[in-house]
Amino acid sequence: MDIFISKKMRNFILLAQTNNIARAAEKIHMTASPFGKSIAALEEQIGYTLFTRKDNNISLNKAGQELYQKLFPVYQRLSAIDNEIHNSGRR
């Protein structure tokens, strides 16, 4: 359950961790095409690319690595909060 985590943040983190659009999309029960489009939309919104794409390979570029290093701790904390909220409803 993602109360505080945006889809853009989640998708960026997943792709950064898997380096594979199809695998990242599969983790959230999406197909590769809309997942890839969400990443492209994020890059367009922020004004620069986050990934290096070559043939079928994708990996974080320098800007993507910097963003990941800043964003991942935030993502982890928000995930923990989401889990706490979800689990508190089951008591």
Which fold does the domain 7-83 belong to in CATH?
Arc Repressor Mutant, subunit A (1.10.10)
pTM: 0.88
Q: What is the pLDDT of residue 20?
A: 96
Q: What is the pLDDT of residue 91?
A: 58
Residues in the chain, pLDDT under 70? 1, 90-91
- Tokens describing residue 59: 């990996």
The pLDDT value recorded for residue 1 is 59
Distances (CA, A) of 13 to 16, 38, 87, 89, 90: 5, 12, 23, 27, 28
d(CA 53, CA 81): 33
pLDDT of residue 2: 74
